[in-house]
Amino acid sequence: KTVLLGNRRLMDEEKVDMASLKDEAARLQSAGQTVVHVAQDGKLVGLIAIADAPRPTATAMVKKMRERGVEVAMLTGDNQATAERIARELGIEMVIADVLPGQKADKIKELQAQGK
């Protein structure tokens, strides 16, 4: 048997039928949770919801950076709802979500080219 664990993109690439849990996955994501899809033999059989928590010192660090005139941004592979939830907790206004690891350096270069 083949078991896959991953995000929606992986399931799309592997042509996994996600219809059975599509609404539940959307509900979890809109609640700010990261959803890991579990598929077995091409069929979605479950979801794992993960709620990220910022480090205890993160809020103070963001505040200090802003006091020094630094524009703080969050660049993450998390989905938009999860990223926005964490950014609100930390006081971060600029959120760039759903970025794959191989795309992060390019996103940073784009921001730098914009003077950020």
pLDDT digit string (tens) for 35-64? 999 999 989 999 999 887 889 999 999 999
User: Does residue 30 carry a pLDDT above 90?
Assistant: no
The pLDDT > 70 percentage for the chain reads: 100
Q: Are 75 and 99 in contact (CB under 8 A)?
A: yes
69-115 confidence digits (pLDDT tens) = 999 999 998 888 888 989 999 999 999 998 988 899 999 999 999 98
Element (H, E) at 40: strand 34-40
Spacing of C-alpha 5 from chain mean position: 16
Distance CA 12, CA 108 (A): 27
Q: Which domains does the chain possess?
A: 3-50 (3.40.1110.10), 58-113 (3.40.50.1000)
- What lies within 8 Å, CB to CB, of 100 at 6+ separation is 77
